[in-house]
Amino acid sequence: MKIDLIVGARPNYMKAAPVYRALNKYPEKFQVRLVHTGQHYDEKMSHIFFRELELPEPDIYLGVGSGRHGEQTGKIMIEYEKAIIDNLPDLVLVAGDVNSTMACSLVAAKLHIKVGHIEGGLRSRDWSMPEEINRIVTDRIADYLFITSLDADENLRAEGVGPQKIHFVGNTMIDSLNYYLPKVKQLNLRDKYPIEENKFILVTLHRPSNVDNATILGELLKVLYQIQERLPIVFPMHPRTRKMLTEFGLNDILESAKNLIITEPLGYMEFLKLESTAFLVLTDSGGVQEETTALGIPCLTLRENTERPVTMWEGTNELVGSNPRKVLERTNAILNGERKTGKVPQYWDGHAAERLVAVLLG
């Protein structure tokens, strides 16, 4: 079976790397091409992840770069179709919910190539999120839906997807976390960050709903200023967030915060070290909600909804939205000892990629 494994943006790499390793254990069964769309393309958001996750140079690099959603999706479709038209795969494997996921799925479907969706069935039910559109379109045309949790099964069946297409394999991103955590524990970041393990808060912010609105972003920064007076904050800043801070003239708030450490985007290993040793994480990322649940670290998600509710039902995640009062209230409660405990969901055990490959082996 000739398989194209698609990666394009930072969240894809951790989901795809374990699958790539698992497929290559069966060279007599699978011929794998690694396809990088170039949706994320710079050193901090792309290349360092390839190296750290032990992925080889891609067999196909589309180099589409940034752009508006329609423009980027169209570019990926045009370039991917060109790249494969003379040598079609039997299966296209896509992960997650980024533009690369939907674009390559559409190309495959129109060329009558089977599609497998790693992390299928997740739903936020928030149509203002481009990721929700990407998820729903990809799931509708996929032949294999590899799900991370049982609520995804319920979502897909409610939408009329046949049960024969749905395969509960677990979370391949947690495969990466478990695989690299022993190495991460050996990292010493004390020279780089003036913090002590379990005595700092980790923050990530990048979603348009939080950073593209000057009022919301300004209020969240004021909350971070108050929080850092109690416990140091490490804030690896996404390029989008940095750009909007400058546009809105909000840098002054951060510059006066003595215990707020702002960094460039971090590689996987360094970020995982910080995430696994934080006292608390504040985020609007989907993947971080899952990683903190697997690590048992309390997480406050600065969104009104989540496509990963299992992290709330079973894990350590809480939704607090972007209301500054609620964010501060819940942060202070956790700092005062009201830590939410949880359990690791079923099949988040480091063997999801093996189960996925077993499905393809039949």
- Do 37 and 149 lie in a common domain? yes
89 part of a folded domain: yes
Q: Would you state the structure tokens that stand for residue 360, as one six-digit string? A: 């393809």
pLDDT at 41: 58
pLDDT at 292: 98
Residue 189 and residue 169: Cα distance in Å, rounded? 34
User: Span 107-135, mean pLDDT?
Assistant: 97
177 part of a folded domain: no
56 part of a folded domain: yes
Residue type, 315: G
- Do 164 and 225 lie in a common domain? no
Residue 45 pLDDT > 60: no
User: Span 178-207, mean pLDDT?
Assistant: 93
Residue 78 pLDDT > 60: yes
User: Span 49-76, mean pLDDT?
Assistant: 91
137 part of a folded domain: yes
Reported as a pLDDT band with limits 50, 70 and 90, residue 66 is confident
- Do 191 and 306 lie in a common domain? yes
Q: In what order do the strands lie in the sheet with 2-7?
A: 60-61, 31-36, 2-7, 91-95, 114-118, 144-147, 166-168
pLDDT at 44: 56
- Do 159 and 55 lie in a common domain? yes
Distances (CA, A) of 170 to 25, 99, 152, 293: 19, 23, 11, 14
Question: Considering the chain, what is the average pLDDT of its residues?
Answer: 95
pLDDT at 315: 98
Burial status of residue 18 (CB atoms within 10 A of its CB: 0-12, 13-18, 19 or more): buried
340 part of a folded domain: no
- Do 252 and 117 lie in a common domain? no
- Do 102 and 193 lie in a common domain? no
Residue 21 and residue 227: Cα distance in Å, rounded? 41
301 part of a folded domain: yes
- Do 221 and 354 lie in a common domain? no
Reported as a pLDDT band with limits 50, 70 and 90, residue 51 is confident
- Do 254 and 306 lie in a common domain? yes
Secondary structure letter of residue 61 according to DSSP:
E
CATH number of 80's domain: 3.40.50.2000
- Do 312 and 354 lie in a common domain? no
Pair 42, 78: CB distance under 8 Å: no
User: Span 99-113, mean pLDDT?
Assistant: 98
Residue 48 pLDDT > 90: no
236 part of a folded domain: yes
Q: Which domain holds residue 187?
A: 183-335
Reported as a pLDDT band with limits 50, 70 and 90, residue 43 is low
232 part of a folded domain: yes
Pair 205, 220: CB distance under 8 Å: yes
**pLDDT tens readout for residues 269-322:** 999 999 999 999 999 999 999 999 999 999 999 999 999 999 999 999 999 999
Q: In what order do the strands lie in the sheet with 280-283?
A: 260-263, 233-236, 201-203, 280-283, 299-301, 317-319
State the catalytic residue, choosing from 112, 117, 206, 238.
206
The 3-state DSSP class for residue 22 equals helix
- Quote the pTM value: 0.95
- Do 195 and 245 lie in a common domain? yes
- Do 50 and 159 lie in a common domain? yes
pLDDT at 121: 98
Is 206 annotated in the active site? yes
- Do 22 and 162 lie in a common domain? yes
pLDDT at 49: 82
Reported as a pLDDT band with limits 50, 70 and 90, residue 10 is confident
The total number of structural domains that make up the chain = 2
Q: What percent of the chain has pLDDT over 90?
A: 87
